[in-house]
């Protein structure tokens, strides 16, 4: 039987004399459903199928949204092959985070509940909760079954990446860097958005992988680390592949995300802003690196582009996670075994995360948010629709500590650099992997 569980966010932060609060409206979840452990079939090296088995809400509306289709937004390009996205400063790093709020019974209600309380919670009609395009956004990131990748017509640079092999004392170039980032991604030591630059998240991922395999955590490549990275990877598995854009890709709802809560509340959904942003998340790539690989491409149906060959789903159950503010890393364990690591943002100096051990009490995909801006007579309330450009991305996993949780991000390239209002923030694709392999009741340690 489907049960309704609320998602609560109840915190406040005062800045420039304005109090901002945002709350989440939970979608129906089946708390009795056991998430299966992921399995991966043997696949041809040139045809990649990845599938995160995400808990689906079968009662949601399948009506298409009428949101306007936006022209692709101009994206800044990487200045050089060796420049990491982590080295590029974002001026708006905290602007999309949760600052506080309360759970509501429906989009027009102000009734609030305790975050661990599932009694008396009511939902509006399914049509008010979500449109079909947000389910499509989840699938865009997590499910590309039946979409073939090949190595035909690759550029000389892409071939160089695919053929790159580490040797002692070699001069590491962009091609080798991408190969190393991909291998880390494939081994579930996530480097975040892959960009061809050896920045903070890549360095952390290498150390994390060495720890996962019981190797000296030097943060430097050596023969033992290279061999371990390639141990369970087919020798001919390509890093960069060609992908043919489909009508479904092109006809996805896109819309520019406005800055303010009031304007966001007027949107049908907080969709991807353009097809490049969508493809970047699907293939774990920084949009600027996607652009570098596909200069002069029009991104039209039937056109082939070069993308990253992404990792297979994690096959291990996650029974507990540790979020380290100092390491800016989420460590995922199956019992005492470290099975995956993800770059993360954990709180900030002004809004630190609580320290201690908590439990996951609810898991919500594509939640709504109630944003309360101002105070007193100036207070205004706005309902923010769900979508990948939501302040918490595509997933919220609430903790037994009210107001705190694990969630996604609308800005994957800013992970480990953005501030967070006390929560644990990951890329949308990484948080989906955690979501698919962790259950309510799992332990979350914040330190």
Q: Return the minimum-mean-pLDDT range out of 96-105, 324-333, 423-432, 438-447.
A: 96-105
How much is the pLDDT for 391?
86
pLDDT surpasses 50 at 18 = no
Range 288-300 average pLDDT: 96
pLDDT surpasses 80 at 113 = no
Domain residues of the chain, as ranges?
A: 1-36+45-447
Higher pLDDT pick, 175 / 2: 175
Angle at 188 between CA 187 and CA 193, to 5 degrees: 110
C-beta of residue 308 within 8 angstroms of C-beta of residue 280: no
How much is the pLDDT for 132?
55
Q: How far apart are CA 418 and CA 420, in angstroms?
A: 6
Pure H helices in 38-173: 126-129, 132-142, 156-163
R_g of the chain, CA atoms, integer Å: 21
Range 9-19 average pLDDT: 37
How much is the pLDDT for 73?
38
Q: What percent of the chain has pLDDT over 70?
A: 64
Banded model confidence at residue 435, pLDDT cuts 50, 70, 90: very high
pLDDT surpasses 90 at 295 = yes
Range 227-239 average pLDDT: 94
Q: How far apart are CA 234 and CA 211, in angstroms?
A: 22
Q: pTM (2 decimals)?
A: 0.72
pLDDT surpasses 60 at 284 = yes
- Give residue-wise pLDDT tens across range 38-50: 222 222 222 222 2
3-class secondary structure, 358? strand
Q: How far apart are CA 64 and CA 311, in angstroms?
A: 30
Higher pLDDT pick, 73 / 182: 182
The dihedral of CA 309, 323, 139, 255: what is its sign? Answer: negative
Range 360-368 average pLDDT: 91
pLDDT surpasses 90 at 119 = no
Range 326-334 average pLDDT: 96
Q: How many helices (H) and strands (E) does the chain have?
A: 11, 16
Q: Return the minimum-mean-pLDDT range out of 11-15, 87-91, 396-400, 402-406.
A: 87-91
3-class secondary structure, 86? helix
Q: How far apart are CA 446 and CA 443, in angstroms?
A: 10
* DSSP H/E element including 181: helix 174-186
- 407 closest CA partner among 335, 326, 346: 346
Range 272-295 average pLDDT: 96
User: What value does the mean pLDDT of the chain take?
Assistant: 73
Provide the annotated active-site residues. Answer: 407, 423
Q: Return the minimum-mean-pLDDT range out of 63-77, 296-310, 353-367, 427-441.
A: 63-77
Q: How far apart are CA 70 and CA 332, in angstroms?
A: 38
pLDDT surpasses 50 at 143 = no
pLDDT surpasses 80 at 7 = no
pLDDT surpasses 50 at 152 = yes
Most confident of 15-29, 88-102, 200-214, 249-263: 200-214
Most confident of 82-86, 106-110, 144-148: 144-148
pLDDT surpasses 70 at 55 = no
Query: What does 296-311 look like in DSSP terms, one character per residue?
Result: T----TT-EEEEE-PP
Listed in sequence order, the residues at least 6 apart from 215 whose beta carbon sits closer than 8 Å to its beta carbon are: 224, 225, 228
How much is the pLDDT for 441?
95
Q: Return the minimum-mean-pLDDT range out of 51-55, 183-187, 362-366, 415-419.
A: 51-55
Higher pLDDT pick, 65 / 221: 221
């Amino acid at each position: 039987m489907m049960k309704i569980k609320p998602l609560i966010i109840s915190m406040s932060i005062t800045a420039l004399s304005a109090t901002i609060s945002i709350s989440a409206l939970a979608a129906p979840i089946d708390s009795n459903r056991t998430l299966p452990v992921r399995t991966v079939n043997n696949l041809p090296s040139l045809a990649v199928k990845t599938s995160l088995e995400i808990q689906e809400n079968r009662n949601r509306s399948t009506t298409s949204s009428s949101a306007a289709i936006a022209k692709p937004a101009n994206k800044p390009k990487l200045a050089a092959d060796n420049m990491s996205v982590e080295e590029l400063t974002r001026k708006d790093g905290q602007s999309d985070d949760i600052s506080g709020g309360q759970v509501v019974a429906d989009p027009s209600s102000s009734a609030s509940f305790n975050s661990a309380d599932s009694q008396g919670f009511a939902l509006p009609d399914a049509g008010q909760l979500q449109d079909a395009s947000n389910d499509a956004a989840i699938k865009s990131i997590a499910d590309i079954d039946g979409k073939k990748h090949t190595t035909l017509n690759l550029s000389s640079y892409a071939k160089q990446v695919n053929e790159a092999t580490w040797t002692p004392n070699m001069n590491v170039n962009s091609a080798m860097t991408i190969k190393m980032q991909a291998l880390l991604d494939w081994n579930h030591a996530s480097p975040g958005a892959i960009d061809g630059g050896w920045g903070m998240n890549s360095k952390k991922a290498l150390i994390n992988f060495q720890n996962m395999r019981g190797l000296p955590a030097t943060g430097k490549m050596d023969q033992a680390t290279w061999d371990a990275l390639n141990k369970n990877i087919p020798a001919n598995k390509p890093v960069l592949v060609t992908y043919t854009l489909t009508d479904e890709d092109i006809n996805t709802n896109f819309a520019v995300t406005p800055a303010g809560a009031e304007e966001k509340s007027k949107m049908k959904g907080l969709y991807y802003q353009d097809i490049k942003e969508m493809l970047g998340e699907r293939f774990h790539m920084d949009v600027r690196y996607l652009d570098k690989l596909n200069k002069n491409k029009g991104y039209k149906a039937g056109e082939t582009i070069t993308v990253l060959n992404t990792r297979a789903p994690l096959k291990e159950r996650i029974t507990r996670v540790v979020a380290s503010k100092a390491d800016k890393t989420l460590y995922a364990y199956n019992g005492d075994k470290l099975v995956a690591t993800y770059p993360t943002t954990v709180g900030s100096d002004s809004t630190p995360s609580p320290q201690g051990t908590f439990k996951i009490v609810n898991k919500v995909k594509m939640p709504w948010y109630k944003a309360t801006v101002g105070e007193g007579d100036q207070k205004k309330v706005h309902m923010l629709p769900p979508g990948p450009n939501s302040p918490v991305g595509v997933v919220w996993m609430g903790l037994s500590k009210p107001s705190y949780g694990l969630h996604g991000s609308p800005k994957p390239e800013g992970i480990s650099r953005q501030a967070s209002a006390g929560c644990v923030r990951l890329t949308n694709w990484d948080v989906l992997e955690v979501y698919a392999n962790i259950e309510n009741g799992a332990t979350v340690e914040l330190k």
